[in-house]
């Protein structure tokens, strides 16, 4: 199979350093606060804010914790192994679109395009008792977890096994039009902590496992297929473009030499080769020597960037007027795609050489954020996975209205 770079991908380079914990996505986020944390924004033990009935039963969705041995730790029985990121901010941004018809969300539809463990979804369904939710995921085991977690909302939830670029078809399958039919869309990109925790999926370089990395175990291409069959130039291209690996050519050459006598089957074999291929001085800086290669292979195996490039326009088309979209991205290649598509969406379509806006040619969307929003220090401390997040959000405008300024947090 051949891979060819688009000009956009060629320019989509990391604009910030990718910390070690980001690239492994902290499979077991644990929160062990100091005294300082307990007085500075972290929820004190036993002091979770009061919640309404079902939400109280879902303790953990908002980060409240239980004690073990005198310290607070993430309670995996409540967060289903994955702590939702920027949860409160997602609620603030999307709720205005979901409560336009009724304060309890009746008649409104939210698409969670990456339902994962259902953490974000649970919060919306708990707070908005009339809301309907369509949840997508390409990973059937994520859908099983979400189905169990959201069982008490089953009459308001439709789960669809699909890549998110199948969003339009999933809407039609669920009884909605592909265009202008939903009030909000949420994308929380990347892999979940549960996927990383399950060593046999092969996402984590720290654990020996089959060289797989498929988010959907039924999809045809595994990381082993790429490593064992792509030609040297294609391998180097993947490592460079998706992993920003400066030793891409060296690594590709080593892989091709080794697989000629022993094809790769496990993550440990690939990690061992990376130790040989990357020069010792470089191995001592910039985090684990395998992190870039593993990121690159995961993106290639799952066709993550192309999927996102198709999914965002489909999600924008699906929004009703005044509908809203939030995207959480954890690595720069994805965030660049979101940023570019959002920039296009808020741009006027009046030809630049005309002095006035042509009627019907104003922007389709306005931005709800100034640039990308980040997690604050308190959230990063209790959920290190949030360190890398970049949140961007838009609101759909009337057809072709005049240009508007970004409105920032206060407006959401």
Ligand X SMILES: C[S@@+](CC[C@H](N)C(=O)[O-])C[C@H]1O[C@@H](n2cnc3c(N)ncnc32)[C@H](O)[C@@H]1O
Establish if 384 lies at the interface with ligand X (CB under 6 A): no
**Angle at 156 (CA atoms; ends 74, 90), nearest 5 degrees:** 45
Nearer to ligand X, 193 or 258 (CB): 193
Among 26, 124, 153, 164, which residue interacts with ligand X (rule: CB under 6 A)?
Answer: 164
Q: Which is nearer to ligand X, 138 or 291 (CB)?
A: 138
Helix (H, G, I), strand (E, B) or coil at 209: coil
Of 12-20, 133-141, 375-383, 396-404, the segment contacting ligand X by CB under 6 A is: 133-141
E-assigned strands of 157-240?
157-161, 182-188
Tell me how far, at minimum, the Cβ of 378 lies from ligand X, in Å.
18
Site string for ligand X, 294-323 (x = CB under 6 A): -------------x----------------
Q: Contact with ligand X (CB under 6 A): which of 137, 237, 269, 373?
A: 137
Rounded CA-CA distance 409/229 in Å is: 48
- If the CB atoms of residues 167 and 271 are measured against ligand X, the closer one turns out to be 167
Q: CB-wise, 194 or 251, nearer to ligand X?
A: 194
The end-to-end CA distance of the chain, in Å, is 45
- Out of 97, 211, 213, 215, point to the residue binding ligand X (CB under 6 A): 215
Instruction: Decide if residue 120 touches ligand X (CB under 6 A).
Output: yes
In which element (H, E) is residue 401 found? Answer: none
Q: Is 12 in the site for ligand X (CB under 6 A)?
A: no
The first and second tokens of residue 70, run together, are 């005198």
Asked if residue 244 lies in contact with residue 292, where contact means CB atoms within 8 angstroms, the answer is yes
What b/e readout covers 68-107, taking b as 16+ CB neighbours within 10 angstroms? eeeebbbbbebbbbbbbbbbebbbebbbbbbbbeeeebee
Residue 188 lies near ligand X (rule: CB under 6 A): yes
- The residue whose two tokens read 């969406």 is 345
CA nearest 58: which of 128, 110, 123?
Answer: 123
Nearest approach, Cβ of 138 to ligand X (angstroms)?
Answer: 4
Q: Is residue 362 within the footprint of ligand X (CB under 6 A)?
A: no
**Is 192 a binder of ligand X (CB under 6 A)?**
yes
Quick check: 254 binds ligand X (CB under 6 A)? no
Closest CA relative to residue 385, chosen from 19, 127, 32? 19
Point out which residues bind ligand X (CB under 6 A).
82, 84, 114, 116-120, 136-139, 142, 163-164, 188, 190-192, 215, 307
């Amino acid at each position: 199979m051949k891979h060819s770079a688009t000009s956009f991908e060629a320019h989509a380079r990391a604009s910030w350093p990718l910390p070690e914990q980001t690239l492994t996505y902290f499979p077991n986020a644990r929160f062990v606060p100091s005294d300082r944390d307990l007085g500075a924004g972290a929820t004190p033990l036993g002091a979770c804010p009061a919640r309404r009935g079902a939400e109280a039963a879902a303790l953990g969705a908002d980060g409240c914790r239980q004690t073990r041995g005198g310290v607070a730790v993430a309670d995996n029985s409540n967060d289903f192994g994955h702590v939702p990121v920027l949860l409160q901010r997602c609620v603030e941004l999307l709720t205005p679109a979901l409560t336009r018809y009724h304060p309890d969300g009746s008649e409104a539809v939210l698409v969670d395009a990456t339902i994962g463990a259902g953490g974000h979804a649970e919060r919306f369904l708990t707070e908005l008792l009339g809301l309907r939710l369509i949840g997508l995921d390409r990973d059937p085991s994520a859908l099983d977890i979400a189905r169990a977690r959201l069982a008490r909302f089953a009459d308001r939830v439709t789960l669809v096994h699909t890549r998110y670029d199948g969003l339009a078809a999933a809407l039609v399958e669920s009884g909605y039009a592909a265009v202008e039919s939903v009030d909000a869309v949420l994308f929380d990109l990347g892999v979940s902590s549960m996927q990383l925790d399950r060593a046999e999926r092969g996402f984590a370089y720290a654990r020996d496992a089959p060289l797989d990395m498929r988010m959907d175990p039924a999809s045809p291409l595994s990381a082993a297929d790429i490593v064992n069959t792509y030609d040297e130039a294609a391998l180097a291209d993947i490592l460079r473009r998706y992993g920003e690996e400066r030793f891409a050519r060296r690594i590709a050459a080593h892989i091709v030499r080794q697989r000629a006598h022993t094809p790769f089957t496990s993550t440990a074999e690939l990690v061992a080769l990376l130790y040989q291929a990357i020069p010792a001085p470089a191995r001592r800086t910039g985090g684990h020597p395998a992190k870039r290669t593993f990121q690159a292979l995961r993106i290639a195996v799952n066709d993550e960037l192309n999927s996102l490039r198709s999914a965002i326009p489909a999600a924008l088309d699906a929004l009703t007027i005044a509908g809203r979209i939030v995207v959480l991205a954890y690595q720069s290649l994805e965030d660049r795609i979101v940023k570019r598509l959002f920039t296009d969406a808020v741009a006027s379509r009046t030809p630049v050489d005309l002095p006035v806006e042509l009627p019907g040619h104003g922007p389709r969307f306005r931005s709800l954020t100034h640039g990308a929003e980040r997690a604050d220090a308190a959230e990063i401390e209790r959920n290190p996975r949030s360190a890398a997040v970049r949140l961007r959000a838009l609101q759909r405008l009337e057809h072709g209205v005049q240009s508007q300024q970004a409105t920032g947090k206060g407006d959401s």
